[in-house]
Chains A and B, each alone.
Chain A
Amino acid sequence: AQSVTQLDSQVPVFEEAPVELRCNYSSSVSVYLFWYVQYPNQGLQLLLKYLSGSTLVKGINGFEAEFNKSQTSFHLRKPSVHISDTAEYFCAVSPPGSSASKIIFGSGTRLSIRP
């Protein structure tokens, strides 16, 4: 069975500082990996996804993530954050060829940006 662990429930950073949100997954098979962002009082939006190929994936709003198979990680990074990045971020995995229900979400990381 797959599982997703987001190691930090909250990450406070200063505006224009870099940030890394950590995600580790557990799976005996190859998986597809996703990061979603949830702004206050809104639903989840796709930030980026890793399906195959290059391990560095670029997403919207200047975010990128690196897939590391040996460490089973998919950490999200941004070199310089803005106040508008204040949101909750969710990592998710989906095994290839799985049934529809097998999309596993992490518990989320709340990113707060200090001016």
Chain B
Amino acid sequence: NAGVTQTPKFRVLKTGQSMTLLCAQDMNHEYMYWYRQDPGMGLRLIHYSVGEGTTAKGEVPDGYNVSRLKKQNFLLGLESAAPSQTSVYFCASKIIETNQPQHFGDGTRLSIL
């Protein structure tokens, strides 16, 4: 039972390059989220999805795009990477009921030079 799997685990980019982070969950969860984690700032929500084909902006969406073409996958894209996007990115998923917790992946460590 894999849970939430993030690919890749590490990546180094140059400023201006683009890339896509993949999140896959095998729990049939409706909701999926992308967060970034920076020292002393906790988790900040980038984008989220309440179901296949739907996405919405979170707290810090600028510079990122997302897509949820399949229920089990949630992609996070950086069109033109900037040093300020150096961070650890976490994907999470959960079922619809609000009293249930999120399940997190192990993170993607992204450095932008």
Interface residues of A (CB under 8 A from B): 9, 32, 34, 36, 41-46, 49, 51, 90, 94-101, 103, 105-108
Task: Report B49-71 residues with CB < 8 Å from chain A CB.
Answer: 50, 56, 58
CA distance A32 to B48 in the complex (A): 20
- B84 interface contact, C-beta 8 A: no
Q: Does B99 contact A (CB under 8 A)?
A: yes
- Interface residue stretch chosen among B11-19, B35-43, B74-82: B35-43
Question: B40 touching A98 by the CB < 8 A rule?
Answer: no
A43 touches B107 (CB 8 A): yes
Contacts beyond the supplied A100-B31, A100-B50: 9 A-B pairs with Cβ under 8 Å: A9-B40, A32-B99, A42-B106, A46-B101, A49-B101, A94-B98, A100-B48, A101-B45, A101-B56
Which B residues are in CB contact (< 8 Å) with A107? 40-42
Q: B residues within 8 Å of A by Cβ?
A: 4, 31, 33, 40-43, 45, 48, 50, 56, 58, 90, 92, 94, 96, 98-99, 101-102, 104-107
Q: Bound complex: CA of A41 vs CA of B56, how far in Å?
A: 28
How many CB-defined contacts (below 8 Å) exist between A and B? 58
Nearest chain A residue, comparing its CB with the CB of B90: A43
Q: Do B105 and A95 touch across chains, with their CB atoms under 8 A apart?
A: no
Q: Which residues of B contact A108 (CB under 8 A)?
A: 40, 42
Assembled-state Cα–Cα distance A45/B40 (Å): 19
Question: What are 14 A-B pairs at a CB distance below 8 A?
Answer: A36-B101, A41-B107, A43-B104, A44-B102, A44-B104, A51-B99, A99-B50, A100-B31, A100-B33, A100-B96, A101-B45, A101-B56, A105-B42, A106-B42
CB within 8 Å for A42 and B107 given contacts A49-B101, A103-B102: yes
